[in-house]
Amino acid sequence: MNCTAVDLFCGIGGLTHGIQKAGINVVAGIDIDSTCKYAYEENNNAAFINKGIENITAEEINSLYPADSIKILMGCAPCQPFSNYSLRYIKDGHKDNKWKLLYYFLNLVENTNPNIVSMENVPQLSKEVVFNDFVTKLKNLGYSVSWSIVNCANYGVPQNRKRLVLLASRFGNINIIPPIYNKDNYLTVGDLIKALPPLEDGSVCKKDQLHRTSKLSKTNKHRIKQSIPGGTWADWDEKLRLPCHMKSTGKGYGAVYGRMEWNKPSPTITTQFYGYGNGRFGHPEQNRAISLREGALLQSFPVDYKFIDDNNPQTNKQIGIHIGNAVPVELGNAIGISIKIHLEGGIKNGEQDNS
């Protein structure tokens, strides 16, 4: 089939890579962050367009599609404004300007008139007015719409990561494919990272520059030595505990400073996964946080995916943001397969249709 996709908010190309893996042509990715250009173009057969969604026109996007192509417009708007953390702890989180990006996305759908629309985001978004507006507008424009909350582990991502996946089509009902994996055969942390060379904290693997780790403070070295896979800070000596742990509210943060477990998927990989104190990001055995390479593998990026531009070195923080913000490649692949099956005849036994 002659179908072509454009990826809004493309980042370093997790969604693009997955969609291309499914056999769909992606001609371009659009993102405001210029530091994503190297990884996006180095790993994907697509052009990187450095523009914010509010500054790109429908005419520019339509010019990217070949004549007579089935047009797919897809993207994952920055999810921080919709996360539980932002809505719960950041004052006036609902006023974050990033909320507007979904309306810009919707405006581009209306004016580019794609045949297929795909949108991925955090589950919390489904409870917000902007999402209801998004769905309602798509239906008013004549699209069949389905959406569901999926666990990425069900689609070959070694990570417990819940995401909202929306699909819309002008050709009729469309759904994401049924789960490929289940709790009995999920890919695990051990499956992906156990064979990597061991590292000390604050070191870099000589054979793989992305396999690098953050330096731990003296106190955190003591903490991680007393941490057990799947355990909490309650496993530490009391002198190592933080003041917040002594409060009743601190009991709800057992995953912070925790170790991952070999035989389970990882927790959600965030933009700060390389820091031991930012979540359950401790290595299951070694006394350090997981490396940038390990985070990338847990996001289902292939081992040969290139992140480091030797001509423009980036910090661990920048690369961590790139990896943590990405759509997991295998989730992108599942979305791509879903679109292909739909275009080849449709399915009726996918995830629940909430239209």
Handedness of CA 292, 297, 302, 304 (dihedral sign): positive
List the one residue out of 288, 277, 284 whose CA is nearest residue 214: 288
79 is catalytic: yes
Query: Cα–chain-centroid distance for residue 305?
Result: 15
Secondary structure (DSSP) of 61-118: HHTTSPTTPEEEEEE----GGGSHHHHHHSTTGGG-GGGHHHHHHHHHHHHH--SEEE
CB 327 within 8 A of CB 40: no
Q: What is the dihedral of CA 321, 322, 325, 331, to 10 degrees?
A: -150
Can you tell me which residue has the tokens 């389970």? Answer: 264
Residues 6+ apart with CB under 8 A from 46: 7, 13, 16, 20, 26, 27, 28, 29, 40
CB 337 within 8 A of CB 344: no
Q: Measure Cα distances from 350 to 131, 178, 345 in Å.
A: 21, 5, 13
Q: Measure Cα distances from 172 to 114, 133, 234, 319, 344 in Å.
A: 14, 20, 53, 40, 12
* From 10, 36, 76, 79, active-site residue: 79
CB 273 within 8 A of CB 324: yes
Residue 63 to residue 265: CA distance in whole angstroms: 41
CB 202 within 8 A of CB 231: no
List the one residue out of 16, 12, 51 whose CA is nearest residue 32: 51
Residues assigned a catalytic role: 79
